[in-house]
Homo-oligomer: A and B are copies of this chain.
Amino acid sequence: MAEATRKLANGAQHIDFSTDPSRYRHWKLAVDGNVATLTMDVDEKGGLYEGYELKLNSYDLGVDIELADALQRLRFEHPEVKVILLRSGKPRVFCAGANIRMLAGATHADKVNFCKFTNETRNGIEDSSENSGQKTIAVVTGSCAGGGYELALAADHIMLVDDGSSTVSLPELPLLAVLPGTGGLTRVTDKRKVRRDHADVFCTTEEGIKGKRAVEWRLVDEIVPNTKREEVVKARAEEFARKSDRPAGAKGVALTPLKRRFEGDAIEYETLTLAIDRAGRRATITLRGPDANPPANAEEMTAQGAEFWPLKAARELDDAILHIRTNELELAVIVFKSQGDSDKVLAYDAFLDANKTDWLAREIRNYWKRVLKRIDLTSRSLVAVIEPGSCFAGTLAEIVLACDRSYMLIGQLNGGNLPPATLTLSDANFGPYPMPNGITRLQSRFLDDKAALDNARAKIGQPLEAEAAEEAGLVTFAYDDIDWDDEIRIFLEERASFSPDGLTGMEANLRFGGPETMESKIFARLTAWQNWIFQRPNAVGEEGALRRYGTGQKATFDMRRV
């Protein structure tokens, strides 16, 4: 398979996940009382890469980065917003889905990273509805196809205009020989509960479905005559607003630009440093705990806004992870380290817990939950290295539990004068941060070992030195300084020598023992099959459907079923 290396548009050197509404090219965000309208109006010339035009409200990663930013701002900057209307700014088309030219020319890694991020954004819409009181209504006018319908599927309510031409469809299979892989197949069966045989018909019907059948088959929630459209939109918005527990009269928090400095191969953030060792094929993220104690109350937290340590640290960590995933494909391992005062980290956990009825504290916890899930879903080997001076406690200890392995030093490093490293659990490790499969990282670690879980709970608040942490099953290995450097070096070298694909597959299995949820099914059953198809000549080969789309030539298929 040819793997064309595409050039980023406008001479960009890497993909940047931070943006703000003043820079949006594809979305318009308007807030009116407790209703926000997110209007998709994609700039054809605004592709992230060179070489394609984003016609018919089709999207690429750049369009989705703006959407993710807008949704994030609605959560933090607009506590008053209870309902989000997803609308199209184009006539006759709601959204045509992922841009096919973009997909056809993308490397395999780019396709996979694109789908992963768009999936995370759509899961975020549902999380917002479930846990942050922002309900989403898709107002579908015109053709809503493929990824366009998958976006609508993330909403709480899908309204389809009944004008004889507006349709919903998932034409990926008949048109492109790929799957509706941004959650489409899974949401059709598991969220909308479309009957499996109807789903089979729907997903093989290129032209889509409209009108009454779309409702009967549960593909949309209602059809609305065009003349009554705005009236119904208003009524639905009011209805969904009543289901929201977003506060009235609260003041939002501005998500000010991240302060980060690129310094050679490192990025210096305020709460962490990302250092890259290219020869060793690893990134080291050193998290810095808070310098100050938490504020006295929720008002002071709001006043600190984006400077409030847990919010700032989550934003910076999120950005660092996305940067590695997307821009640093050759790195095999992410090493997590930390520096700081565990007591202060725990004080912030206690503060967020004490204020959990506050909308902003809730939002910050929800954000940490999403960042931690992003780590779970990052296809790099993850290791925590716990040394004297570290502050892996509570929320930061959750990162240790997200790792494939963890190494903890027994006692002091030769020549060091810092006290031995400790690991401390807090209530934050027992509930607020479920993994995509719906259970906590500790539950996932001790799948049927209730005694181990109870024992861990009994240790909340106790700083555990290495041997105690190992004994409690919280770290993989505890070594003293005689073995320390060698053990870690051997592990890092070994990991860098293995097949990256083998590791991706292995980690995607070992990280998610136990139950599956709709969310985890999207990243397992659906995504793994889609990734397989993204390798198959029938889709991506020279004569495959994805490459031949729009050329006038029909795809040629190898007809053997596998």
Query: Per-position contact with B for A414-426: 1 when CB-CB < 8 Å, else 0?
Result: 0000000000000
Which chain B residue has the least Cβ–Cβ distance from A406?
Answer: B197
- A281 contacts B559, CB within 8 Å? yes
- B173 contacts A504, CB within 8 Å? no
Which chain B residue has the least Cβ–Cβ distance from A202?
Answer: B510
Candidates B199, B473, B499, B509; contact of A539 at CB < 8 Å: B499
The answer, yes or no, to whether A446 is at the interface (CB within 8 Å) is yes
- A498 contacts B204, CB within 8 Å? yes
Query: Per-position contact with B for A497-526: 1 when CB-CB < 8 Å, else 0?
Result: 011111111111111111110000100111
The answer, yes or no, to whether A439 is at the interface (CB within 8 Å) is no
Q: Is the interface of A mostly helix, strand, loop or mixed?
A: helix
- B503 contacts A173, CB within 8 Å? yes
Q: Which chain B residues lie closer than 8 Å to A513 at the CB level?
A: 189-190, 193, 196
Q: Which chain B residues lie closer than 8 Å to A129 at the CB level?
A: none
- A559 contacts B330, CB within 8 Å? yes
Residues in A59-101 with C-beta less than 8 Å from chain B: none
The answer, yes or no, to whether A560 is at the interface (CB within 8 Å) is yes
- B501 contacts A198, CB within 8 Å? no
Residues in A276-291 with C-beta less than 8 Å from chain B: 281
- How far apart are A398's CB and chain B's nearest CB, in angstroms? 14
A531 vs B179: C-alpha distance in the bound complex, in angstroms? Answer: 16
- Known contacts A185-B510, A190-B514; decide if A560 and B525 are in contact (CB<8 Å): no
- B499 contacts A562, CB within 8 Å? no
A529 vs B509: C-alpha distance in the bound complex, in angstroms? Answer: 9
Q: Which chain B residues lie closer than 8 Å to A555 at the CB level?
A: 499
Candidates B404, B531, B545, B560; contact of A532 at CB < 8 Å: B531
- A533 contacts B505, CB within 8 Å? yes
Which chain B residue has the least Cβ–Cβ distance from A195?
Answer: B445
A560 vs B328: C-alpha distance in the bound complex, in angstroms? Answer: 9
Query: Per-position contact with B for A467-506: 1 when CB-CB < 8 Å, else 0?
Result: 0000001001000000000000000001100111111111
- A179 contacts B506, CB within 8 Å? yes
A330 vs B172: C-alpha distance in the bound complex, in angstroms? Answer: 22
A531 vs B531: C-alpha distance in the bound complex, in angstroms? Answer: 9
- Known contacts A179-B509, A510-B203, A529-B508; decide if A108 and B562 are in contact (CB<8 Å): yes
A452 vs B376: C-alpha distance in the bound complex, in angstroms? Answer: 38
A361 vs B389: C-alpha distance in the bound complex, in angstroms? Answer: 66
- A532 contacts B526, CB within 8 Å? no
- Known contacts A204-B494, A404-B200, A446-B195; decide if A501 and B539 are in contact (CB<8 Å): yes
